[in-house]
Amino acid sequence: MTYDFDELLERRGTDSVKWDGVRDVWGRDDLLPLWVADMDFRTPPFVMEALKRQLSGGVLGYTRPCADWAPAICDWLLHRHGWQVETGWISFVPGIVRAQALALLCFTRPGDRVAVMNPVYHPFFLVTQRLEREVVFSPLVLRDGHYHIDYARLEQDLDGCRVLILCNPHNPGGRVWTEDELRRVADICHRRGVMVLSDEIHADLTLPGYRHHPFATVSPRAAAISLTFMAPSKAFNMPGLASSYAIAVDPSIRRRFQTFLEAGEFGEGHMLAYVGCAAAYREGEEWLGQLLDYIQGNIDFTEQFLKERIPAIGMIRPQASYLIFLDCRRLGLPQPELVNLFVDKAHLALNDGTMFGRGGEGFMRLNVGCPRSVLRRALEQLEEAVSHL
């Protein structure tokens, strides 16, 4: 079956954060939204069918995980990422940011130091700060068009930290960390007694030519110090379903986290989450293959468009996912003027690079998870705005 990713969907009026939330954030409705990380594609039909089947029971009663939920996750992880996971290692979590917050509450105390590698997905440090833990920023290095880890700096920065929140693959840089890179991070964290929360929400969006390595698989040390968060939400465009899960290989980390979840019943999923997740993983391979080809096409299109028509703006080419960090530094604009160029002149709603922490200055994050005709329109609006500078 061939899926149609060119279809234009009307998402306004559906309480979509990406579309209807534009007014909440920018106070206006005339911006084309290419910000929040969901895609303007239909959630796959086999997921929608599974939800409809579940609803057809006619009662929204308390619902246990469907029998295939954990096995479907295990089979998917083995087949897709070569990770042999036992069903008992998996816990439902009600969203990945929420799971990070729960893990911080479970494994750290107020005042503890938690490291992140910036620029990075902003809730990593915002949630940590709101929970009154101290954030240690250990900056990534942008070299040869990609982010790299400064191991010497990381080793120093981790001194006295209890936790590192790792973005694997990385958002907003789109890096798929190699096995060797992750192993070095694991060695440093192990030496320093630092636990790793590995956020792997973008794993299934690893693009052709790259391979995702679950952090816990790169070495026995990595498995011993980590708690991993995953979900079908990004890849299958179902983040509104809150159908995420955590995996702990290490028995003591697992016991502690599962006990914490049980105490507050945080690990009780809802009736649609389990069947939605199982359907995505059981039936999603072909759809996902076509999606990744389409996203790759959108990334190629963006790269070519910028090169030919807006050469002053470059991009970090993502190795995973549909988020592109646009490098606008050559425009030489202070950040407020850069934001103004995108919003007031180009009528586009993107994420301001500085929201991802230091290192984001001069960047804007573009979401290309949309039909190509929409992407073309957005880039043409940007071209027009830049031509008037």
Ligand X SMILES: Cc1ncc(COP(=O)(O)O)c(C=O)c1O
- The strand pairing partners of 98, in sequence order, are none
Nearest alpha carbon to residue 35 among 46, 20, 55: 20
Distance from C-alpha of 124 to C-alpha of 115, rounded to nearest angstrom: 9
Closest approach, Cβ 201 to ligand X, in A, equals 4
Closest approach, Cβ 236 to ligand X, in A, equals 13
Q: Which run of H or E residues covers position 314?
A: strand 314-316
Print the SS3 string covering 265-291: CCCCCCHHHHHHHHHHHHHCHHHHHHH
Between 244 and 298, name the residue whose CB sits nearer to ligand X. Answer: 244
Closest approach, Cβ 116 to ligand X, in A, equals 11
Which residues, 6 or more positions from 75, have their beta carbon under 8 angstroms from its beta carbon? Answer: 281, 282
Of the CA atoms within 13 Å of residue 378, those in its CB half-sphere come to 23
Task: Considering only the stretches 15-23, 93-101, 140-148, 326-334, report the one whose residues sit in contact with ligand X under the rule CB under 6 A.
Answer: 93-101
Task: Please answer whether residues 322 and 296 qualify as being in contact, where contact means their C-beta atoms are separated by less than 8 angstroms.
Answer: no
Closest approach, Cβ 97 to ligand X, in A, equals 3
Closest approach, Cβ 43 to ligand X, in A, equals 14
Task: Considering only the stretches 72-80, 95-103, 111-119, 312-320, report the one whose residues sit in contact with ligand X under the rule CB under 6 A.
Answer: 95-103
Task: Considering only the stretches 14-22, 91-99, 264-272, 325-333, report the one whose residues sit in contact with ligand X under the rule CB under 6 A.
Answer: 91-99
Closest approach, Cβ 302 to ligand X, in A, equals 19
Q: Which run of H or E residues covers position 221?
A: helix 220-225
Nearest alpha carbon to residue 324 among 379, 364, 373: 364
Q: Which of 174, 189, 194, 199 binds ligand X (CB under 6 A)?
A: 199
Q: Which run of H or E residues covers position 96?
A: helix 96-107
Closest approach, Cβ 233 to ligand X, in A, equals 6
Task: Considering only the stretches 44-52, 89-97, 154-162, 285-293, report the one whose residues sit in contact with ligand X under the rule CB under 6 A.
Answer: 89-97
| 306 three-class SS | helix
Q: x/- contact string, 217-236, with ligand X (CB under 6 A)?
A: --------------x-x---
Asked if 95 touches ligand X (CB under 6 A), the answer is yes
Q: Could you say which residues in the range 144-173 bind ligand X, by CB under 6 A? A: 167, 171
Task: Considering only the stretches 59-67, 96-104, 260-268, 341-349, report the one whose residues sit in contact with ligand X under the rule CB under 6 A.
Answer: 96-104
Q: End-to-end CA distance of the chain, in Å?
A: 46
Task: Considering only the stretches 80-88, 90-98, 307-315, 354-362, report the one whose residues sit in contact with ligand X under the rule CB under 6 A.
Answer: 90-98
Closest approach, Cβ 177 to ligand X, in A, equals 13
Closest approach, Cβ 173 to ligand X, in A, equals 11
Between 95 and 139, name the residue whose CB sits nearer to ligand X. Answer: 95
Q: At residue 328, what are phi and psi to the nearest 5 degrees? A: -105, 15
**Which residue type does 68 have?**
D
Q: Please, where are the H alpha helices in the chain?
A: 21-26, 45-55, 69-81, 96-107, 123-130, 151-157, 179-192, 220-225, 251-264, 271-283, 285-309, 335-340, 372-387
Q: Could you say which residues in the range 104-143 bind ligand X, by CB under 6 A? A: 121
Distance from C-alpha of 110 to C-alpha of 383, rounded to nearest angstrom: 47
Between 244 and 258, name the residue whose CB sits nearer to ligand X. Answer: 244
Q: How many CB atoms lie within 10 A of CB 95?
A: 18
Task: Please answer whether residues 223 and 214 qualify as being in contact, where contact means their C-beta atoms are separated by less than 8 angstroms.
Answer: no
Between 74 and 197, name the residue whose CB sits nearer to ligand X. Answer: 197
Q: Which of 31, 97, 247, 316 binds ligand X (CB under 6 A)?
A: 97
Distance from C-alpha of 342 to C-alpha of 339, rounded to nearest angstrom: 5
Closest approach, Cβ 354 to ligand X, in A, equals 17
Number of residues near ligand X (by CB under 6 A): 14
Between 72 and 165, name the residue whose CB sits nearer to ligand X. Answer: 165
Task: Please answer whether residues 338 and 354 qualify as being in contact, where contact means their C-beta atoms are separated by less than 8 angstroms.
Answer: no
**Which residue type does 198 have?**
S
| 246 three-class SS | strand
Residues of this chain that bind ligand X (CB under 6 A): 37, 95-98, 121, 167, 171, 199, 201, 231, 233, 239, 244
